[in-house]
Structure 1
């Protein structure tokens, strides 16, 4: 039997309007002794409040939407975990949409969250170099109607959030690698149409050039594990590596590309770091457990998500932006190795 609100009201000896104010979160609540009686009646009868009725009662759906490019990517799953922590104890529930880096899917997710009356929308991940006027317009309408929007990783016009200084952090990593004595460099650049990939590559290569070094190759590809695998195989066909060649240091524009590149190196019978040193960017959770452990730029991914979750609920500060600068972390994959003369 379906238990209705009217049944709870009758059981508690109150009007249906009073029962609704107690169970659906209205700001107009009766005396606590009456509210306790209503909640006890609902518990006895097994009544569950209607989410739509709750939203109407408190003028809030109690929902926050998070849009990521790929939930299987540890970068995004770490951010999602952080957002959950930021919302913990607030009464808000998190809705998640993964778009597989498809612009139309991202726009559809924004519209779906708008139709579900979410109180806020978080967008995590890199923006494309081309302005997305349709997405910006949809978000603008959402904000005009009281919705809150924040970005994680890349800014969007009219929205605050957590921004990453990708170029600056990549430059810091280049400094550290130069300090270890690395002199031969190659870059697996990922997708150059993404702002994140472009900024990381420009920051890294720019610092090398300031120090008087030019990368021997800059290869574009997918900003994914498979992209790293394919780009590293292409690199091995283009440059002398191993077999007496001076050690090559490869910078990958993100850590999941490193994972694919490591597989390609193993398939080619090459050793890290003896033949090829390798470094990434993000410090996804599994990276330090790899063998050898992988040098990278550490971003506080969970903390970024937590801060964004808190920000989306802070109406006064929702338009603010904070900038995160990553920290280079040197591990076994870029250990100093005596350079060998080319045969």
Structure 2
């Protein structure tokens, strides 16, 4: 891609000439002169300069869209050429939530890196909605999602399931009321919650007076939580809302309230919490590895999908 295109795209990304100049290691006057030259050649301005952050003109929108297409083609070319040298070289940018990056990906990444040491790995962390947009913008190669019945055009490969539990501090009175349903950390670690004879609460109705720590809107588990409460015909007591599942779990462990968590998060035996299996279809989440259907699927992408599918195959 031409240097001036890189300059203009960086200004678009940064929202200002000064920030773009810093990112490009240029002086601001030098950057301004380079972009003014392009604008003079096409006969139209690319940016509305009296807006903060800068906004694109109509010509700027067309220009940036074409730059994105060029970047996409260059990325596809690089991937296909890299594949000619097998997996001795290459790169892979993965996008995951805090939960996935902390609990699901580490063993797979370790195995993958040992098997393909020449592939450069990059891990991006954001919300699931943000990651889908980043995939659409070709900023990441793969991400993970558990949207039921997705209506997008992404490639999806099922990799594992997790089970949503209600986690409650041991000191809460609800544990006495539901003692026949209560599971310990050891039960979860040994996957007792997956056994057919494991007791499951039929609804969340008994939790009407229990304060909850919920995720914020936009999180898949928030939508599921709302549906579970609606089915139980209760208006939950919401003590806090946080953006990350891992944060919610840590707050629950400190005694602040109850929360919905994944069974994959219970990694050690302790007596601080009690866990409840929920007898509801929404309490089981199917996770897919997601890639863009518009793009060439590189060898590193294929190898990683194969690695994670193989590792979590028993949990599908």
Larger Rg, first or second structure (1 or 2): 1
TM-score by length of 2: 0.40
- With a CA cutoff of 8 Å and minimum separation of 6, indicate the structure with the bigger relative contact order: 2
TM-score (norm 1): 0.38
